Structure 1
Amino acid sequence: MSTDRNIVLFDLFGVIARHQRPGALEKMAARCHAPTDAFTTAYWACRPPYDAGQQSAPEYWTAVLRRLSLSVDADTIEELRLTDIDSTIEELRLIDIDSWSRVDDRMVAYVQSLRDVAEVALLSNIPADHADTFLLAQPWLHDLDHVALSGKIKVAKPAPAAFHHCVVAMRAAPTDFLFVDDREDNVRAAQATGMNGHLFTDRDELAAVIDSWLPTRHPTGK
């Protein structure tokens, strides 16, 4: 059942915001005196509960360092032990936040322009402390109709509950939504909840999809 509304629900990173800054993982690995490949494995393996608001930043980074201690050599472990762990964790946290701080200005402008013809919302996987910084740095987010950030809502895509959160929060029906993400697993998860979905590749293709979707939904737009 539809409530006859047009809601474009955007992912953030890889769509409106840039992916992680090149060289960031190497920089964080060097701070840990660890090989980049071992650090990268630990960084991503420990990430899900941090993204979903189930861990604080110190808990996440402690888990990363513990995982590293199982996969690096004895000299590296000793270097980590001799380091001020709290200082290391805070430095890693700040490097990490900065690495996810860039936006695509053309996409920001496009998203803002859509509010003339549709409701616009955001659903992003982002830890709570990252979210706080991003919200301060990007005031345009406060103009959207709804912003759901995984670290704040305590659930991350592709879990169905992340999409249901948006449906309930906006008092809408799943079929009112067009969900846009650059990851196919997330798009499929949204479609499984009843939302329409589009796999993002570039702005021009997305604009064509939205232009064709809106008239079939409601001729007068918003």
Structure 2
Amino acid sequence: MKALILDMYGVIIKDPEGGLLPFINRTFPDLSRDDVYRHWIKANVGELSSFNFFRELGFEGDLSIIEKEYLDTIEIDESFYEFAPILKKHYNLALLSNDLGEWSRYLRNKFKINDYFDVITVSGDLKIKKPDVKIFMHTIDKLGCSATDCIYVDDRRFNLAAAQSLGMDSVLFNSRKVQYEGKTVVSFKELTNLLI
């Protein structure tokens, strides 16, 4: 059986950025994308805890409330629930996400998606993030298959290029509406039709 590896944000989660910058700019309108993402990159590889990420940006008070308020703005693509069981009949499913470990656990539990996946890899837990090929290799090893047995789905072209460099097939989930020469889908229905 082949393996299907899915990205989280921009694939399973509707907003590719998770709505992070708009949420932060409600409190700190002068913080730029660069101001936010230099801390987010550190948190994404486990160098900052989720609370310290908010603290570095200037948030004060009960950070658990602020964090939950942010995470509860994030929405799942509801069609995932319809098509994941169909895909699971044909593929071992893996999740490969650049995310803070705490955030990923909260969202996966909230949306009840853990049981769909045979393998879950999160950059904040592993301290490596895409497009580093080591995080792809870790996921392939956990799946117990070869790269050529894997299909990787992501909304970012540079992550697809990293997967392809290992011999994986790849599909762009085009939630960012970009130009791409390879296989492209815009929904789980299209993905299912392409792969089954």
Specify the TM-score bucket, using the shorter chain as the normaliser.
Answer: 0.7 to 0.9
Please tell me whether the aligned partners of residues 16 and 108 of structure 1 are also in contact (alpha carbons under 8 angstroms): no
Q: What letter matches 2:35 in structure 1?
A: A
Question: How many residues are matched?
Answer: 183
Q: What letter matches 1:10 in structure 2?
A: L
Q: Which structure's relative contact order is higher, taking Cα pairs within 8 Å and 6+ residues apart?
A: 1
In the alignment, the residues of structure 2 paired with residue 149 and residue 161 of structure 1 have an alpha-carbon distance, to the nearest angstrom, of 12
Change (3 A) 1:198 1:63: same
In the alignment, the residues of structure 2 paired with residue 27 and residue 144 of structure 1 have an alpha-carbon distance, to the nearest angstrom, of 29
Name the Cα RMSD after superposition.
2.2
Query: TM-score, normalised on structure 1?
Result: 0.73
1:29 and 2:25 matched: yes
SS in 2 for 1:87: coil
Change (3 A) 1:157 1:14: same
Change (3 A) 1:31 1:91: farther
1:8 and 2:7 matched: no
Q: What letter matches 1:196 in structure 2?
A: D
Ranges in structure 2 where 5+ consecutive residues have no aligned partner = 175-185
1:131 and 2:104 matched: yes
Query: TM-score, normalised on structure 2?
Result: 0.82
1:210 and 2:184 matched: no
Note the alpha carbon deviations across 1:103-141, whole angstroms, 9 max, x for none.
111123212211111211111111111012112212232
Identity rate, percent: 21
Ranges in structure 1 where 5+ consecutive residues have no aligned partner = 66-84, 212-222
- The CA deviation at 1:192 is 1.0
Please tell me whether the aligned partners of residues 93 and 116 of structure 2 are also in contact (alpha carbons under 8 angstroms): no
| Partner residue in 1 for 2:164 | 191
- The CA deviation at 1:207 is 2.5
In the alignment, the residues of structure 2 paired with residue 163 and residue 61 of structure 1 have an alpha-carbon distance, to the nearest angstrom, of 28
| Partner residue in 2 for 1:52 | 45
Structure with a larger share of its residues in helix:
1
